[in-house]
Amino acid sequence: MKVLLIGSGGREHALAWKIAQSPLLTKLYAAPGNPGIAEHADLVALDIDDHAAVVGFCQQSEIDFVVFGPEAPLVAGSSDRLREAGFLVFGPSQAAAQLEGSKGFTKDLCARYNIPTGAYQRFNNAPKAKAYVRAQGAPIVIKADGLAAGKGVTVAMTMEEALAAIDDCFEGAFGAAGAEVVVEAFLDGEEASFFVLSDGRHALALASAQDHKRVGDGDTGPNTGGMGAYSPAPVMTNAMTARTMKDVIEPTIRGMAEMGHPFTGVLFAGLMITERGPELIEYNVRFGDPECQVLMMRLRSDLLPLLIATAKGTLGEVTAEWHDDAALTVVIASKGYPGSYQKGTPITALPANSDTCRTFHAGTANKDGKLVATGGRVLNVTATGSTVGQAQARAYDAVADVEWENGFCRRDIGWRAIAREKAGH
Ligand code: AMP
């Protein structure tokens, strides 16, 4: 089978590494890819937002299966163009990708199908949104409706912050994504990420993870795309997973099918585990980055047949096997991130890969035969261990072997799970 993987980050490097191990694979292409992905795939210099170019490449190269990493082309309808041209695709339709592309869409789905989530209202103007916020009081959460690269959410602890966030949205801080605003009740609890595959009818539970969004140790400082993650998430016990499947995931899959937008692909539920049980914070329609890196390290099964079953509607016939070991990834980012940072700084040494440790490339390029950093988040040093603590120790041992002067990382990825391990539960 000839496979095209769309994307160029650490998530896609982890997917490429795993897909490349499949006996079903004859050839893997990645567009546009990165130097890490190039170890497993032929890179194709395609503009992934140019849907006609992607379809053209697939026709020319006789691609059998297309796997989407990032959400943007899905929300823009690239998977529909490929399906219309007759290709088998892993990734939801544009209509189903609204689960990530429109927070209001997802909240309405939750209301209609009784899926637990914070109480909310949708607004298209500031005065009405402000009146609602004043009536509700703080803390309260203000969200731009559309895709805002993870920046459109304000968890406002005070009324002033909430009102300012409403102004930001309607004054265009997030462009078109902020033309509509969702105001949502503040949920208190522990967050967890939960991943399932769905073929439109069945849902296959994958695994859970927790990430660290803040840039600084102790979960301080500004939000980022994610500075590290580990899997499994201790709060996602078997009982909590079963409840999440029944109360959150299954009604979503059923509801999307009933509404005529069957969801196929990977569904990433951002959950708040509250005193009342799991409540939905948000959906994403792709693997998390860096959560995907830890999931792929833990997945024992061949990934490719799972993705194919998702795309073909035969997910009821497959199972996913997992290693018992935990996995943890440390993101090494360019100094300055998530603010401005220098591009093109040299990376002169990387840790050796082994059965328990692997470095994924997230934002690198080859320049005159040398590896350089091109992104904010640049490397994902990932390790497994019998406990999160052991995985963390192995990951930071490997981080010490990275030679990159302009890089930095958090030193406490996994702290919450490790504190629990130390406390003996
Ligand atoms: P989102 O982009 O919707 O995942 O929101 C980003 C982050 O904001 C989440 O990971 C949570 O930490 C926080 N957040 C979002 N919605 C809520 C909520 N209703 N209550 C508390 N925190 C929230």
Residue from 169, 272, 281 whose mutation best tests the ligand 1 pocket (most atoms within 8 A of CB)? 281
Q: Smallest Cα–Cα separation from 144: which of 104, 202, 92?
A: 104
**Res. 425: pLDDT tops 70:** no
Distance CA 241, CA 157 (A): 30
pLDDT, tens digit, for every residue of 341-389? 999 999 999 999 999 999 999 999 999 999 999 999 999 999 999 999 9
3-state helix, strand, coil in the chain (%, to 5): 35, 30, 35
Closest ligand 1 atom, residue 103 Cα: 3
Instruction: Please compute, for residue 130, the number of CA atoms within 13 A of its CA located in the half-sphere on the CB side.
Output: 13
pLDDT tops 80 at residue 149: no
pLDDT at position 175 over 80: no
Burial of 286 from C-beta contacts in 10 A (0-12 / 13-18 / 19+)? buried
The confidence band for 176, taking pLDDT boundaries of 50, 70 and 90, is: confident
Q: What's the mean per-residue pLDDT of the chain?
A: 95
Distances (CA, A) of 200 to 4, 9, 316: 22, 27, 11
Q: Specify the DSSP class assigned to residue 239.
A: H
Alpha-carbon Rg for the chain, nearest whole angstrom, is: 21
- pLDDT one-digit tens code per residue, 231-285: 999 999 999 999 999 999 999 999 999 999 999 999 999 999 999 999 999 999 9
pLDDT for residue 404 is more than 90: yes
How many Å apart are CA 145 and CA 418, to the nearest integer? 35
Task: Report the length, in residues, of the chain.
Answer: 425
Sort 370 into a burial class: Cβ within 10 Å, 0-12 / 13-18 / 19+: exposed
Q: What is the DSSP letter of 157?
A: S
Ligand 1 center–CA 344 separation, angstroms: 33
pLDDT tens digit sequence for 63-78: 999 999 999 999 999 9
Q: Is 369 helix (H, G, I), strand (E, B) or coil?
A: coil
Enter the tokens of residue 71.
């959400």
Separation of alpha carbons 319 and 305, rounded Å: 10
Out of 121, 154, 155, 271, give the residue to mutate to test ligand 1, the one with the largest number of ligand atoms within 8 Å of its CB. 155
Ligand 1 shell residues, CB under 6 Å: 118, 141, 150, 153, 155, 184, 186-187, 191, 270, 281-282
For ligand 1, atom 15, the nearest C-alpha belongs to 281
Question: pLDDT grade, residue 129 (50/70/90)?
Answer: very high
What SS3 class is residue 174?
Answer: coil
**Distance from the alpha carbon of residue 345 to the mean position of ligand 1, in angstroms:** 33
Model pTM?
A: 0.95
Share of the chain above pLDDT 90, in %: 91
pLDDT above 70 coverage of the chain, percent? 100
> What dihedral angle (degrees, nearest 10) is formed by the CA atoms of 159, 162, 166, 167?
70
Q: How far is the CA of 261 from the centre of ligand 1 (A)?
A: 25
Which SS3 state, helix, strand or coil, does residue 147 take? Answer: coil
Q: In this predicted structure, what is the pLDDT of residue 261?
A: 97
Q: Is the dihedral of CA 318, 324, 326, 327 positive or negative?
A: negative
* Sheet strand arrangement including 153-156: 120-123, 181-185, 140-144, 153-156
**310-353 pLDDT tens trace:** 999 999 999 999 999 999 999 999 999 999 999 999 999 999 99
Across 275-309, the runs of DSSP E, i.e. the strands, are 277-284
Atom of ligand 1 nearest to the CA of 270: 4
* Rounded Cα–Cα distance for residues 126 and 137 (Å): 16
Is the Cα dihedral 80, 81, 87, 90 positive or negative? negative
Taking only the tens place, the pLDDT of each residue in 191-241 is 999 999 999 999 999 999 999 999 999 999 988 999 999 999 999 999 999
| Residue ID of nearest Cα to ligand 1 atom 5 | 153
Residue nearest to atom 12 of ligand 1 (CA): 191
Token look-up 């300055």 returns 336
| Distance of alpha carbon 352 from alpha carbon 360, whole angstroms | 12
For range 154-163, the mean pLDDT: 93
Q: Are 178 and 300 in contact (CB under 8 A)?
A: no
Name the band, by pLDDT with cuts 50, 70 and 90, for residue 146: confident
**Do the Cβ atoms of 240 and 188 come closer than 8 Å?**
no
pLDDT average, residue stretch 105-117: 96
- pLDDT band of residue 424 (cuts 50, 70, 90) is confident
Atom number of ligand 1 nearest to Cα 186: 20
Q: Is the pLDDT reported for residue 111 higher than 80? A: yes
**Is the confidence at residue 180, as pLDDT, over 90?**
no
